[in-house]
Amino acid sequence: MKNVLQPTGDQVRAFRDRATGEPIAMLNLLKFREKAAYDDGRPCDLSGREAYQLYARSFREIMEPRGVRILYAGAVHGLLIGDGEDLWDEVAIIQYPSTQVMLDMLRDTTYQAAQQHRAAGLEGQLLIECGSGAAF
């Protein structure tokens, strides 16, 4: 598995093409750097988790007024089934009113400015789009 921090152009286009106008949930699997590392090389005493928390605070300020809700966020304690212990540090499920709200977020300059903290804090991430229709 390869951890990356930004979607490819093909992934963004496929995401856009799946849009239904209905709410979506994004499952976030997060792996933090031990020490934050900013792209501009600035000295930093923050942990990766602390840098990501700066991003998360900005995310909420920008996106909650647009109807985005954090449904769940928590620490990973371990696996009950499967392999890959220590792959992820935290998980979050974030609900967006629509695909378009998320696409608009990616183009928002205030959001883009906050991304520096996300990139500094994360070693890797999986972002999994989820929608209704499951039979659980």
**Single-letter amino acid, residue 97:** P
Q: What is the CATH number of domain 23-79+86-130?
A: 3.30.70.100
The answer to whether the beta carbons of residues 116 and 130 sit under 8 Å apart is no
| Number of residues written out for the chain | 136
- Alpha-carbon gap, residue 135 to 86, rounded angstroms: 29
Q: What is the pTM of this model?
A: 0.90
* Res 3: pLDDT: 62
Residue 81 has what DSSP assignment?
S
- Alpha-carbon gap, residue 76 to 69, rounded angstroms: 20
* Res 136: pLDDT: 65
**How is 32-71 classified by DSSP, letter by letter?**
E-SB---TT------BHHHHHHHHHHHHHHHHGGGT-EEE
| Average of per-residue pLDDT across 19-37 | 95
**pLDDT for 58-88, tens place per residue?**
999 999 999 999 999 999 999 889 888 788 9
Half-sphere exposure of 89 (CA within 13 A, CB side): 15
**pLDDT for 95-111, tens place per residue?**
999 999 999 999 999 99
- Alpha-carbon gap, residue 90 to 29, rounded angstroms: 6
- Alpha-carbon gap, residue 119 to 37, rounded angstroms: 8
